[in-house]
Amino acid sequence: MEKRLTSSNNRPREDSWLKSLFVRKVDPRKDAHSNLLAKKETSSLYKLQFHNVKPECLEAYNKICQEVLPKIHEDKHYPCTLVGTWNTWYGEQDQAVHLWRYEGGYPALTEVMNKLRENQEFVEFRKARSNMLLSRKNQLLLEFSFWNEPIPRSGPNIYELRSYQLRPGTMIEWGNYWARAIRFRQDGNEAVGGFFSQIGQLYMVHHLWAYKDLQSREDIRNAAWHKHGWEELVYYTVPLIQEMESRIMIPLKTSPLQ
């Protein structure tokens, strides 16, 4: 009898201890993670577009993009900038990737979209483009405060877009770790930009890197493992990831990022 009473008295304590193993304590936040992680000195919004093109149409698709997109980029009446435009080399095949910056955030995006509806050349471009596509998707992004802002660069370069689907609720942790990790990847000026999604697929992070070639990419990435602290940061960020993808991309001739 005494043995049963002792076991019964301990059960609530044991249950409480077991539950504590599976409860994640979250610090209260007084602001959205977009305000905590994004650049304060700029209100730029980014749009990342993925277009999967019919294989037989890729050349024609690239041709009309190179004819029309730079005109929008160069027109002072449009508060947007074409950051880069590429074809995926390794990853999804026959894919085009475009990155746009909207100076002034959501109002600038709305202004550009409204003006493009009245731009007859762009309307015709979209009609021609739609016949060449298998699928398309986009995301609206903000910049991480600790990354360089992507600016035009000369080439030739290849670009790697590393995309991470994070576990919901882990964006602040990711930002805290990468604010330290980015210093390990600045030696060769390979860090182009870092972004996180606001609309579209959520809890997505994109890191954009530039390399001279695939061997340079391999050498630079291997060198990071010899730096004290890099291994620890990788160890803590990997559990935050649900999925990850790497694209190696080649810039089109009219891309500001060459």
Residues contacting 58, CB < 8 A, separation 6+: 87, 94, 96
Beta carbons of 102 and 108 less than 8 angstroms apart:
yes
Q: Tens digit of pLDDT for each residue in 15-33?
A: 443 343 333 344 444 555 5
pLDDT value at residue 3: 41
Q: What is the pLDDT of residue 18?
A: 37
Q: Are 29 and 36 in contact (CB under 8 A)?
A: yes
Please tell me the pTM assigned to this model. 0.85
Token pair belonging to 16: 């409480």
pLDDT under 50 in the chain at which residues? Answer: 1-29
- The residue behind tokens 């044991």 is 14
Q: Could you tell me which residues come within 8 angstroms of residue 160 by beta carbon, excluding any fewer than 6 positions away?
A: 208, 209, 210, 211, 217, 246, 247, 248, 249
Q: Name the strand (E) or helix (H) holding 73.
A: helix 58-74
Q: Is the backbone peptide bond immediately before 79 cis, with ω within 30 degrees of 0? A: no
What integer pLDDT is reported at residue 6 of this predicted model? 42
pLDDT at 24: 39
> DSSP letter at 257?
B
- Per-residue tokens: 202: 């959520």
In this prediction, residue 7 carries a pLDDT of 42
DSSP code, position 202: S
d(CA 170, CA 91) in angstroms, rounded, equals: 26
